Amino acid sequence: MVEVKLHDIGEGMTEGEIIHLLVKPGEMVGVDQPLLEVQTDKVTAELTAPSAGKIKELLVKPGDVVEVGTTLVTIETESKEPVAVQKSKQAEKEPASNTRSFEKLLSRSPGNDKTHRVLAAPYTRKIARENGIDIEKVTGTGSAGRVLDEDVYNYLNNGETAKEYQTEAASSSSAEQVAEKTEAQTGAPAERKTIPFKGRRKQIARKMTQSLYTIPHVTHFDEVDVTNILELKKELQDSKGIKISVPAFLLKALALTLKEFPIFNSRLDEEKEEIVLHDHINLGIATDAEEGLIVPVLMDAQNLSIKEIHSRVKELTKKAQTNQLTHADLKGGTFTVSNVGPLGSTGATPIINYPEVALMAFHKTKKMPVVRGEDQIVIRSMMNVSVTFDHRVIDGGASVAFTNRFMEYVENPSIMLLELV
């Protein structure tokens, strides 16, 4: 018998929430067949069967929050000796070795195989569940019949679940009327609404509390002229057809600045009483996703061109917003960036992503009259920036010098380009 346990499928993971069970007791499963979906503090993953056999027992149910090491499923195999599934050496190198991509699974014939499962990503299944759709009724247009997000939305838009929604809405309306009538007759308050405090939200709270109580935070503000960046961006698009986002230029300027000020790209090891300077500049990109803040990492930013940064950040942002980030996308960050300007932010005092020692935020850009040259008033595009730093490691003077150098690169793109030669 094989025991399938929840192992550490993410950096620092301690627990996960069971989202959906994909098999039933007594069902026959094949190797690599998905057994259940689990939501960690960062990603949703599918745990697959390490061996073929029959599902003997499901020890969890949807909504359960279980710790790493907990047995989730037992599978009866030909071997009579109980075997506990543990991480192999390969799994230590690839933490998500028990979560396989559906493209790697063989499509089974539903007519001849009772263990047939629809090919679909966890996020796609989530969309279907939230909209009351039986995903097995959706025709997949992806590789090997894989059901895509668009297939679920098309199924929904065709009105095939309209009757279900009408029934649910009528039931909900009736329930609300009963509740209102009960409250009016008894004077008892209606049931209060709550939001579960677990999963990613709980992990965010834990990390923010750890950081705030560990690090003495200091934040200073400045404003940088991004007019020349905007003009260069427009010129590249008009003359070469090359589309580069403003954040890509800013991130390159930041990477160059971090290279000159390595103390900002470090961590404090209090036990060994030393400050560790990182060899690589891995920028964490704080991203606002439906399930909460998440920070995918732009690896080795010091070696990437502005065009490569644009492409990679675009890819990471899309994956974050569709809950498709891998564990490799989320680990190894050395400095975090928060681009909250598009949301309308004019300033903030962000909390550092522990154990990093600093964070930079890009705020709102707006046109303003500024003095240039010999008291000449001109209209320029000015962006607020804030730098939050760990005062145990960095002093205010160093933070101002760091920001000034960053501003020099942004306001004079030609200097930035010279650094790339």
As a whole number of angstroms, the distance between CA 113 and CA 64 comes to: 30
Tokens of 307: 């065009």
Q: Is residue 391 among the annotated active site residues?
A: yes
- φ and ψ at residue 195, rounded to 5 degrees: -120, 125
SS3 content of the chain, % helix, strand, coil (to 5): 35, 25, 40
What tokens were used for 387? 């730098």
Alpha carbon distance 6, 70 (integer Å): 6
Residue 39: count of CB within 10 angstroms of its CB: 21
Bridge partners of 224? 383
Cβ atoms of residues 308 and 251 within 8 Å: no
How far does CA 149 lie from the centroid of its chain?
18
The answer to whether 267 and 282 are in contact (CB under 8 A) is no
- DSSP per residue, 166-227: HHHHHHHHHHHHHHHHHHHHH-PPPPPP-----HHHHHHHHHHHHHHHHS-EEEEEEEEE-H
Nearest to 334 by CA among 314, 360, 316, 313: 360
Position 84, amino acid: A
Calculate ∠ Cα 212-214-216, nearest 5°.
Answer: 70
Q: How many CA atoms lie within 13 A of 307 on its CB side?
A: 7
Contact (Cβ atoms closer than 8 angstroms) between residue 9 and residue 96: yes
Of 146, 121, 136, the C-alpha closest to 46 is: 121
Active site residues: 391
